[in-house]
Amino acid sequence: MSFFSKILDKLGINSAQAATPAATAPASPAPAPVAAAAAPAQEVVNPIAVVDVVAQLEKRAAANPQKLNWRTSIVDLLKLLDIDSSLEARKALAKELYCPDELMGDSAKMNMWLHKNVLAHIAANGGNVPAELLD
């Protein structure tokens, strides 16, 4: 399981469903012309369920004895989700999300990039993340 998948799991976002749309089977050629027109095949679409990320994280923050600011800190966000927030873990997550190499040597810059990109990836996978947290 990837590091980012752990984040999605903790938020209740089904990463397998969110990652790829349903595939359709290739059509096989008909052996002979059909006299009556067949009804068009309906494509099966599995909509992504939207998860209220802010509500979940605010609830976790209220129940946590530490004062954690998940809105600006990747460390606090990971702590709220009970996920390893060590520098090594954050570097692994940054590599998984393709953090630019020039940011990897500066933990502050990497953390800012990582926080923004984790929230963006959560939103792309069905998390309801407000626009002000994505800018």
Domain boundaries, the chain: 3-14+49-134
- pLDDT for the residue 50: 75
pLDDT digits over 91-122, tens only? 999 999 999 999 999 999 999 999 999 999 99
Residues in CB range of 79: below 8 A, 6 or more apart: 64, 66, 68, 85
**Minimum mean pLDDT range among 17-21, 35-39, 40-44, 112-116:** 17-21
pLDDT digits over 41-53, tens only? 555 445 555 788 9
Helices marked H in the chain? 3-10, 15-19, 53-63, 74-80, 87-96, 101-104, 107-124, 131-134
